[in-house]
Amino acid sequence: MLAPGCPWPILTSMEHEPSYDLATGRGLMACPKCDALHIEEELELGETARCTRCGTVMAKPRDGAFVQLIALSFTSMVLLVGAVFFPFLEVSAMGFGNASSLFDVALAFADGVLLPLVIAVLAMIIGLPITRAFLLVYVLAPLAQGRKPHRHAARAFRWSEVMRPWSMAEIFVIGTAVALVKVAGLASVHLGPAFWAFCALIFVNIASRAFMCQTSIWDAIEDAGQTVEFHGKPRRAKA
């Protein structure tokens, strides 16, 4: 058997057996960025474990993280619903005064040639963030109460991670600012509550990232006895 080469212990894992098995991979974790093997070991809350080789954060369990993440997910759901239905921009030019929500705008485009652009934009700023919030609550709510995870919890969490780079609320806020500068001087444009909801969403996302420890969530799903049901059925990877 290969010498284990002193893999460095890390990780939260509910099981207390200090053992690992180089033949099956049990009790080991590989750094996704550099492939270095580490032995899973329970971490203190508040500790951050980094890969010994490349320094990538591998686990950072935080006290009450699941409950915080659930609360933050609900907050972003509320903000996103507000962002859809409250006025986003109010324009007054040439005697016109007009306030419009994203919902109004979307309806106005519903049969135009711009529909694909509108759908793509709405997916990135509303659809994906709200789906992620739902998925996270679905995965974490049972875990926070120490119950068995719901069906497909593992898949739900993986999809929520896949969606992460594609939800772009913060980029949308900057885009809005640039657009306003472009029309400045031609009309007075006021930012409505929906714009501020997007700004608040940025801070919710930052807070959520501070509490997010994927490794703890994966371990919790696994330790709660969720077995992935696609065993023995090889499937293609996501795109």
Q: How far apart are CA 202 and CA 72, in angstroms?
A: 11
CA atoms of 37 and 92, how far apart (whole Å): 61
The encoded tokens of residue 135 equal 């998925």
Q: CA 130 to CA 119: how far, in whole Å? A: 15
Nearer to other proteins, 79 or 221 (CB): 221
Output the smallest distance, CB 135 to other proteins, in A. Answer: 13
CB of 133 to other proteins, least distance (A): 19
Q: Which is nearer to other proteins, 74 or 218 (CB)?
A: 218
Q: How far is the CB of 178 from other proteins (least distance, A)?
A: 5
| CB of 7 or CB of 71, closer to other proteins | 7
In whole angstroms, the minimum distance from the beta carbon of 56 to other proteins comes to 8
Q: Which is nearer to other proteins, 42 or 74 (CB)?
A: 42
Using alpha carbons, select from 86, 82, 64, 62 the residue that is nearest to residue 74. Answer: 82
Nearer to other proteins, 16 or 239 (CB): 239
Smaller CB separation from other proteins, 138 or 157: 157
Q: Nearest-CA neighbor of 73 among 173, 208, 232? A: 208
Instruction: Please return the burial class of 10, using the count of CB atoms within 10 Å of its CB with bins 0-12, 13-18 and 19+.
Output: buried
**Cα-flanking dihedrals φ and ψ of residue 118, to 5°?**
-65, -40
Query: What are 108's two structure tokens?
Result: 């106005």
Q: Token digits for 113?
A: 């040639």
Asked if residues 77 and 133 have their Cβ atoms less than 8 Å apart, the reply is: yes
Q: Shortest distance, CB of residue 197 to other proteins, whole angstroms?
A: 15
Token pair, residue 152, equals 């497909």
Both structure tokens of 134: 């739902």
Measured CA to CA, the distance from residue 152 to residue 155 in angstroms comes to: 5
In the complex, minimum distance from the CB of residue 212 to other proteins, in angstroms, rounded to a whole number: 13
